[in-house]
Each structure stands twice: as structure tokens, then as C-alpha cells.
Amino acid sequence: MRILGIDPGYATTGFGLLQTEGGAGIRLLQYGVITTPKELPFPRRLEMLYDDLLRLVELTKPDASAVEELFWGHNITTGIGVSHGRGVILLALTKAGVPVFEYTPMQVKQAVVGYGKAEKRQVMDMTRRLLHMEQVARPDDAADAIAIALCHARSQSSMLAKLQGSP
């Protein structure tokens, strides 16, 4: 199964593509970011994000997507913009027919590190270790997207998921 992890944004959206191989494990296929130029009007940036994400889906052909739910920090203005970007991302994935699974930051930390209050650097390092990467992915948005995809891969391979899927 190919899993496309997405760390939502409108200026920078991270993505990470994993391949689960049954008992053989999980492999990182590619990662990166979708960016939109800050000099463009906001609606045009959202349109560019939509188009680029559809193109990414077309190229990578994921079987599922994992998108991080938003955590509202101190800057509400940025949070609102990111919320708009997240909405565009959910729309693009749905229109492309890719099943969407959503995870909170705490769920990602729990799945990757085993502790829901782990620090960002711990999540990045464990992601690197689990996927046998030489170094942590850069930029951070891409590293976060890989962790989100890994969360979904590990959630889907858990014993509970297997029991829920059995007749």
C-alpha cells in the first residue's frame, strides 16, 4: 500500500510517500514540499496548492492519505490561513479518490515514538531510524509529513486494525 502523508499549510505543504510491504516493512519512496509564492494573492495560492497536490497524487498514485489535524498555536492569523490550506488539501485528495485519514499531533507522536508528548526532534529522529534514513528529512514540513504517513502505516498494521478488518 502507498501512503501519502501530508503536513498541511498554504505557504509550505510537506509530503512524504511510503510503501508498506506486508511483513517486509515500510519503505520511504519520496518526500518534499509544495510551496506557493508569498507575492501571489491568497486565493491564487490556494488554487496553486490544489493543482499541485492533484498533480502529486497523479504522479505518486497513493492508495491512502494521512493528513495532520491542526494544532492551534499562538498566531491565530497564520492558523486561519493554514486551515484554509488544509481544507483545499482535503478537497483535492477527496476529488482524486484517495481515502483520507486524519491524525492529531499527539497520535502521530504516539505511533512513531511511543509517547504522545514527545518532542519534535524525537519524532524526527525516530522516523529516520525506523525508515533507515541516513539523516532527518529537510525541510521540517517534509519530515513531519513522513511521520504522519508512518503513523498511518503503523496504525493500519496494528493488531486492532487487523481485528477490525477481519470477518
- What span, in angstroms and rounded, lies between the C-alpha atoms of 28 and 23? 15
Question: What CATH fold (topology level) applies to the domain 2-165?
Answer: Nucleotidyltransferase; domain 5 (3.30.420)
Active site residue 47: no
Q: Considering the chain, what percentage of its residues have pLDDT values greater than 70? A: 87
Q: The pTM is what?
A: 0.90
Res 160 pLDDT > 60: no
> pLDDT tens digit string along 37-94?
999 999 999 999 999 999 999 999 999 999 999 765 555 666 788 899 999 999 999 9
The pLDDT, as a whole number, for residue 166 is 44
> Mean per-residue pLDDT for 87-108?
97
Active site residue 51: no
Higher-pLDDT residue of 2 and 75 is 2
Res 165 pLDDT > 70: no
Active site residue 141: yes
Residue 72 burial by CB count (10 A; 0-12/13-18/19+): exposed, middle or buried? Answer: exposed
User: 110 CB contacts (<8 Å, ≥6 apart)?
Assistant: 116
Q: CB of 16 within 8 A of CB of 152? A: no
List the chain domain ranges.
2-165
| Confidence label for 29 from pLDDT (cuts 50, 70 and 90) | very high
Which one of the listed residues 52, 58, 68, 69 is annotated catalytic?
68
Which one of the listed residues 7, 52, 63, 102 is annotated catalytic?
7
